[in-house]
């Protein structure tokens, strides 16, 4: 199996669809094609006829380090295209709206087995998950470094950070680009359960979360689960949808102005300090 075939894995086990981020050497940072693949797998899981749960997990030290700019794809693009509406409508606006909507509109139980830190767009997507299980609070944090990159919030995180962590922590995350610790996330009620890092490997942790979740819904009525999720979503959907559309429009403006492009160049040359 090639690297492209194995970077994100998909399988169905009994009544659970499992999506695995399998790029540990890059801390599960995802390029544009990989975010697209993640979305397609989530769409596939949503349409599975015999599943109740969709579980997203990862291998290695990080759950996801966000967008992977290490490939330096922008350096290969003609300058005229790099500041064009066409380029960023395709590479940024359409992708972010679509991916955020897929996470928000997922009709099954959407859970995450979180093995480590989460950064950037992946933070926004994790905040849309129903159930969050963390291996080790001390090694987990959320980081939304958009202000450090000359960007604005992504993945509807301008709504979900406030909704799930409160105004004060959302302000630290988005206005100051500060990492939010695992303990703070747990205290705010964002994390359902943590395990004090007791498992000897990420694989063992992932397997435990899978078994714990499948045991939890084993004797429950499937249609009641799915309808209850729809009822829960009624109170949040409007805020998510407004945030998603506003974020991409303001983000598009930043890319057209060339602000993130300049910040990435400065970070590469160590002219400014990255929050990582």
Over residues 147-180, the pLDDT tens digits come to 999 999 999 999 999 999 999 999 999 999 999 9
State the Cα–Cα distance between residues 182 and 11, nearest whole angstrom.
29
In a domain, 211, yes or no: no
Give the model's pLDDT for residue 148: 94
Residue 172: active-site member: no
Looking at the predicted structure, is the pLDDT value of residue 202 above 80? yes
Residue 16 lies in a domain: yes
Catalytic residue, candidates 5, 78, 154, 222: 154
pTM: 0.93
131 CB neighbour count, 10 Å cutoff: 17
Angle, vertex CA 25, rays to CA 267 and CA 11, nearest 5? 125
Domain assignment of residue 92, yes or no: yes
Contacts of residue 67, Cβ cutoff 8 Å, sequence gap at least 6:
29, 30, 31, 35, 120, 121
pLDDT at 275: 54
Q: Which candidate, 211, 248, 210, places its Cα nearest to that of 98?
A: 248
How many domains does one find in the chain?
A: 1
Q: Is residue 276 one of the residues assigned to a domain?
A: no
Alpha helices in 47-119 (DSSP H): 79-82, 85-88, 94-105
Residue 206 has pLDDT above 90, yes or no: yes
- Rounded to a whole number of angstroms, the distance between the first and last alpha carbons of the chain is 32
User: 186 or 81, which is more confident?
Assistant: 186
Tokens 């680009």 locate to 177
Percentage of the chain beyond pLDDT 70 is 93
Q: Are 14 and 214 in contact (CB under 8 A)?
A: yes
**pLDDT averaged over every residue in the chain:** 93
**pLDDT recorded at residue 72:** 57
The answer to whether 126 and 63 are in contact (CB under 8 A) is yes
Cα distances from 85 to residues 40, 77, 173, 196, in angstroms, run 25, 14, 29, 47
- Closest of 124, 115, 164, 168 to residue 145, by C-alpha: 124
Q: Does 271 or 117 have the greater pLDDT score?
A: 117
Which pLDDT belongs to residue 68?
86
Nearest to 161 by CA among 120, 218, 192: 120
User: For residue 268, what pLDDT band results from cuts at 50, 70 and 90?
Assistant: low
pLDDT band at 2 (very low <50, low <70, confident <90, very high): low
Rounded to an integer, the average pLDDT of 215-224 is 96
pLDDT of residue 261: 85
- Residue 160: what pLDDT? 98
Would you say 52 and 29 are in contact if contact means Cβ atoms under 8 Å apart? no
What integer pLDDT is reported at residue 267 of this predicted model?
Answer: 73
Residue 184 has pLDDT above 80, yes or no: yes
Domain boundaries, position 109: 3-203+221-268
Backbone phi and psi for residue 5, each to the nearest 5 degrees, phi listed first: -75, -30
What is the Cα–Cα distance from 160 to 111, expressed in whole angstroms? 16
Is 273 inside any structural domain?
A: no
- Give the per-residue pLDDT at 262: 87
pLDDT of residue 193: 98
Task: Check residue 261 and report its DSSP letter.
Answer: H
Residue 88 phi/psi, 5-degree rounding, is -85, -25
Which candidate, 31, 91, 121, places its Cα nearest to that of 255? 91
In the predicted model, is pLDDT for residue 270 greater than 70? Answer: no
Q: Is residue 275 one of the residues assigned to a domain? A: no
Of 36 and 71, the structure prediction assigns the larger pLDDT to: 36
pLDDT tens readout for residues 70-124: 655 666 677 778 888 988 898 899 999 999 999 999 999 999 999 999 999 999 9
Give the burial class of 230: count Cβ atoms within 10 A of its Cβ; 0-12 exposed, 13-18 middle, 19 or more buried: exposed
* CATH code for the domain of 83: 3.90.226.10
């Amino acid at each position: 199996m090639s690297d492209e075939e194995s970077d994100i894995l998909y399988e169905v086990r009994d009544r659970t669809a499992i999506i695995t981020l399998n790029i540990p050497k890059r801390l599960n940072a995802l390029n544009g094609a990989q975010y697209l693949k993640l979305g397609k797998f989530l769409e596939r899981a949503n349409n599975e006829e015999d599943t109740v749960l969709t579980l997203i997990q990862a291998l290695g030290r990080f759950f996801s380090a966000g967008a992977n700019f290490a490939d330096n794809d922008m350096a290969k693009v003609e300058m005229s295209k790099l500041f064009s509406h066409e380029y960023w409508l395709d590479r940024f606006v359409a992708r972010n709206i679509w991916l955020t909507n897929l996470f928000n509109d997922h009709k099954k139980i959407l859970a995450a087995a979180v093995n480590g830190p989460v950064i950037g767009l992946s933070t926004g997507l994790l905040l849309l998950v129903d159930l969050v299980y963390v291996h080790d609070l001390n090694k987990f944090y959320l980081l939304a470094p958009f202000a450090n990159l000359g960007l604005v919030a992504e993945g509807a995180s301008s709504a979900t950070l406030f909704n799930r962590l409160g105004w004060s922590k959302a302000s630290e995350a988005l206005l100051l680009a500060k990492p939010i610790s695992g303990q703070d996330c747990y205290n705010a009620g964002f994390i359902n359960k943590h395990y004090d890092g007791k498992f000897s490997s990420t694989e063992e942790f992932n397997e435990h979360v899978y078994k714990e979740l499948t045991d939890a819904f084993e004797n429950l009525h499937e249609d009641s689960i799915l309808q209850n999720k729809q009822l829960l979503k009624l109170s949040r959907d409007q805020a998510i949808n407004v945030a998603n559309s506003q974020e991409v429009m303001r983000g598009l403006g930043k890319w057209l102005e060339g602000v993130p492009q300049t910040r990435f160049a400065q970070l590469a040359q160590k002219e400014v300090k990255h929050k990582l």
